[in-house]
Amino acid sequence: MPICGETPASNGRLRGIRSGHIFLRSPPVTIAATARIYPGARLIHDGTNLSVGEYSQIDDFAFVHAGKRCAIGRFVHIASFVSISGGGEFSIGDFSGFSAGCRVITGEDAAEPFLGGRTSHVTIGEHVIVGTNTVIFPGVTIGEGAAIGACAMVRKDLAPWGVYAGEPLRRIATRDRDAILEKRRLFLQKLAASRSP
């Protein structure tokens, strides 16, 4: 039987992945109290390999297989029908997000060990926007601030602050780094002020 962890539902109670799986009770995964994971989302983990940062959101019908390690930063949005799979390592930085239907593949599928399946990684920096139905292949690093158009196939690393589209994928513009980082600074300042007594 596959080993699956438990994930908190949006109502705060623990719920497991469907029956027929073994549930691990400890140690717990790290999910920030302010994170929102909708009840229709499926998160597969072993109890130690998943973290979700503050104010992040995983919508219904998203699928996350934590693999070796899955680190989701703060203020991240994972939309409906996104899947993260492959058994490798995945990380996404703060203020980044996936539009609906994206696929992230962190390793090769192999039904049996003798078929030679390999795991890899996908690393996504902060302030990255990934357009609808984009596919990101194993071994890719997406630099801070990159924006990727819909239906892209990301097969190689992308430089920071570029806007990428087309097939084959190419850089078509540059994002305004200073303006985005200033908006982040102002947002965090306002958030900190709202938390003060």
Provide the pLDDT for residue 195: 86
Supply φ then ψ for residue 89, to 5 degrees: -100, 140
The residues that bridge with 93 in the sheet, in sequence order, are none
CA separation for the pair 195, 197 (Å, rounded): 7
Q: Which of 94, 174, 85 is nearest to 136 (CA)?
A: 85
Give the helix/strand (H/E) hosting 162: strand 162-165
Provide the pLDDT for residue 117: 67
The domain in which residue 184 lies consists of 3-195
Residues 6+ apart with CB under 8 A from 197: none
Provide the pLDDT for residue 108: 77
Furthest CA-CA distance within the chain: 60
Provide the pLDDT for residue 109: 63
| Helices and strands, counts by H and E, the chain | 1, 24
**Per-residue tens of pLDDT for the chain, all 197 residues:** 233 344 443 333 333 333 333 334 435 689 999 999 999 999 999 989 999 999 999 999 999 999 999 999 999 999 999 999 999 999 999 999 999 999 999 987 655 566 666 789 999 999 999 999 999 999 999 999 999 999 999 999 999 999 999 999 999 999 999 999 999 999 999 999 998 87
Residues 6+ apart with CB under 8 A from 125: 93, 96, 141, 142, 143, 144, 145, 146, 160
Supply φ then ψ for residue 115, to 5 degrees: -80, -5
What's the number of domains the chain is made of? Answer: 1
CATH code of the domain in which 140 resides:
2.160.10.10
Provide the pLDDT for residue 93: 97
Q: Which of 124, 123, 179, 121 is nearest to 146 (CA)?
A: 124
**pTM for this prediction:** 0.83
For residue 128, the tally of other CB atoms under 10 A from its CB is: 24
